[in-house]
């Protein structure tokens, strides 16, 4: 089965900075028979990830940096500066 173009984009590490958190949420749901109450931690991690990278994107846009969303390699460098994942 082929993925739609939009689904492929969501699986692209350069486009989706929260791919690991997305996968964690999906795996949790599958493992817990889609009981959302048991996956709150994963949902919060995803939400915090999106918020963090959205703020980075806004700052880059303000500063005229293109592309607005850092590439996967740039994101690794940014996260290394924090010494731990900031979300």
CA distances for 5 relative to 23, 24, 36, 68, angstroms? 18, 22, 28, 21
Domain assignment of residue 74, yes or no: yes
Region 5-12 average pLDDT: 79
pLDDT the model gives residue 14: 87
What is the reported pTM? 0.84
Domain assignment of residue 30, yes or no: yes
* Structural domain harbouring 54: 5-82
pLDDT the model gives residue 4: 83
- The rounded mean pLDDT for the chain is 93
Q: Is the pLDDT of residue 1 over 70?
A: no
pLDDT tens for 10-41 read 788 888 999 999 999 999 999 999 999 999 99
Give the rounded distance of the alpha carbon of 43 from its chain centre: 11
How far apart CA 61 and CA 80 sit, in angstroms, is 22
Number of domains in the chain: 1
**Which string of DSSP letters, residue by residue, matches 6-70?**
HHHHHT-TTT-TTHHHHHHHHHHHHHTTT-GGGGHHHHHHHHHHHHHHHHHHHHHHHTT-SSSSP
């Amino acid at each position: 089965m082929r993925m739609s173009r939009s689904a492929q984009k969501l699986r692209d590490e350069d486009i989706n900075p929260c791919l690991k958190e997305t996968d964690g949420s999906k795996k949790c749901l599958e493992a817990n028979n889609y009981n959302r109450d048991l996956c709150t931690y994963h949902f919060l991690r995803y939400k915090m990830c999106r918020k963090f990278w959205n703020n980075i994107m806004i700052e880059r846009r303000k500063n005229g940096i293109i592309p607005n969303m850092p590439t996967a390699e740039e994101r690794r460098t940014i996260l290394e500066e924090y010494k731990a994942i900031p979300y």
